[in-house]
Structure 1
Amino acid sequence: MREKSKVEAMNNSKKVAGLAGIVSVLWMGLTAAVAANQKRLLFNPLGSRREVLKPYSSGHRTRPIVVRSKDGTRLSGWLMTPPVAGPHPGVVYFGGRSEEISWVARDAGKLFPGMAVLAVNYRGYGDSHGDPAEEHFVEDGRMLYDWLSERHHVDPKRMAVVGRSLGSGVAVQVAMEREAHSMVLITPYDSILAIAKRKFKAIPVEYVLQHKFESVKYAHQIKAPTYVLRAAIDDIVPHSHTDLLVEKLGMLHADEIVPDSDHINIPYLESTQTRIASFLSGRFNQPLS
């Protein structure tokens, strides 16, 4: 009987070890899959398909532009300028995950009245060349900010950055390193790393994620008055992740929830666009100190 018990114990031990081995292999495989596919999971550009075929702002002169990054990568987008003489306040827009930004050129008259607006697709998005990466997005963002501020019809002391979702992380880092006059963050987060940890709890995400977008680390350095807009229903960026960012912002102007909005439709809603236009117009109309 003892021998039989020993055999059964050994067999059970082998089964447990075998199961542990299978679980380990599956865990390693899942971790490797997340690491290998993180660009697609995080950025997921939708190719060259335009959201708006012929974008045109009713309140601006609209023209397509091509700007070269510091490494020569071709970036494509739109420049919208008011029809009257400047200098005008300037706005640089940074889009979200999978967002092709031609719609901004269409809606700029409502969103950014009387302002010069630059909206350029990220690398790998729309007609822009190159591969998406946090490092490139931020470096290109600084370059685009400088490019717009140097236009003769733009007032470099009245420049704002606007970032939606993923782009909020770009806007924060650009505003940290440039003297932005104002900033608007639409459905912003504390960090992509924190959201990824929430989603992939069984994976050591901090070791495999290359594009962390840790806005919460930079928020306290922001000197620009910041307007935060949240979606009423948001299963992409839970409000708890926005809370952590808002707590760290150096100059919070307001933190509001847009009624009847979700993570996808929020920038297109008239109530959102009116709020952004009102905030920026009010800020830009104040005397410079």
Structure 2
Amino acid sequence: MERVYKSHSCVYVSPMWTAVKILGLFALCYAAVAVWVFFSQRKLLYMPRAELTATPKQIGLAYEDIRLTNRLGTWIHGWWLPADAPRFTLLFSHGNGGNLSHRLESLRIFHDLGLSVLIYDYSGYGQSQGEPGEEATRADARAAWDWLVREQGTDPRTIVLFGRSLGGAVTARLARELAETDTPPAGLILESTFTSVPDMGAYIYPWLPVRLLSRYQYDSATELAGLPLPALFLHSPDDDVVPYALGRRLHDNYLGPKTFLELQGDHNSGFLLTGRRYSDGLNRFLDGLGE
């Protein structure tokens, strides 16, 4: 109860009780934000678009629509872009926004590097069924790998895993799975990605107990620990979504053969703004895998 002291016509409110009220209001607001973050994580992490805005045909690339069924029984949609004489096959796991039709610039770069490419949409993205989730994205990536190896007869030693942003975490998990089944890929390319979702959250909300609130992990640092695969890490200091420090940490803690390429520009345009240096960096890495 608030303490009020009356003196003639004046009312005096104790400063202590005023402070208690302010602290109580602050605590209520803090708790409300924490609850919002907890229940909004799916929308913050996954931002799918259903409509496909373009196809590889519109940039002069031949492709095939494919449908895959993951281990959860969900069918997912992908594009298969075969090269005439591929140096490697790239399994491309994209970021958390949009769908595969928003990655045409990347598909052009990969084609010009002489790569066959399989790009797929996660569950709930584009034409893929289901809902996105940590286990679902893992199952989606494995379904894409299995299609390449079982349906296309692609030698695992000629497959390079490429993950951008959220796709980097999906790729790290797939690499761990494959290493445990003795069918490792030729190498990894991890672009503009993070160590884990809780680490990301701690950067965005440093004043919240994010590690306790996080419903998702995507713990790439743990997944990559001990892997011997050659890996290329790419990140921009000007990344406005995934902190550069997390990308550097992922690279610095990796114990396998590794290379780091510093990009220019923000999170979504870094690979484009880096220009020729980007494609040259990919090319050098691929050349190293072929030696």
TM-score (norm 2): 0.84
- 1:52-131 matches, within 5 Å, as 53-56=54-57, 61-84=62-85, 89-104=88-103, 107-112=106-111, 113-131=113-131
What is the rounded CA distance, in whole Å, between the counterparts of 1:134 and 1:277 in structure 2?
Answer: 31
* Unmatched segments (≥5 aa) in structure 2: 179-183
Query: By how many angstroms is 1:231 displaced?
Result: 1.9
What amino acid is the match of 2:30? W
Change in 2 beyond 3 A, CA 1:190/1:9 = farther
Aligned length: 276
CA deviation map 1:59-113 (0-9, x unaligned): 86411111111222121120111235x8x63221111121422254665353154
Aligned 8 A contact 2:90 2:159 in 1: yes
Which residue is equivalent to 2:51? Answer: 49
Task: Establish whether residue 159 from structure 1 lines up as the match of residue 163 from structure 2.
Answer: no
Which residue is equivalent to 2:24? Answer: 21
CA deviation map 1:37-68 (0-9, x unaligned): 111111222x21334x1323978641111111
What is the rounded CA distance, in whole Å, between the counterparts of 2:76 and 2:62 in structure 1?
Answer: 20
What amino acid is the match of 1:139? A
Query: By how many angstroms is 1:210 displaced?
Result: 1.2
What is the rounded CA distance, in whole Å, between the counterparts of 2:55 and 2:38 in structure 1?
Answer: 37
TM-score (norm 1): 0.85
* Unmatched segments (≥5 aa) in structure 1: none
Query: By how many angstroms is 1:116 displaced?
Result: 2.7
Give percent identity, aligned residues only: 21
What is the rounded CA distance, in whole Å, between the counterparts of 1:157 and 1:180 in structure 2?
Answer: 5
What is the rounded CA distance, in whole Å, between the counterparts of 1:283 and 1:65 in structure 2?
Answer: 31
Query: By how many angstroms is 1:10 displaced?
Result: 7.6
Task: Establish whether residue 136 from structure 1 lines up as the match of residue 136 from structure 2.
Answer: yes
CA-atom RMSD, angstroms? 2.6
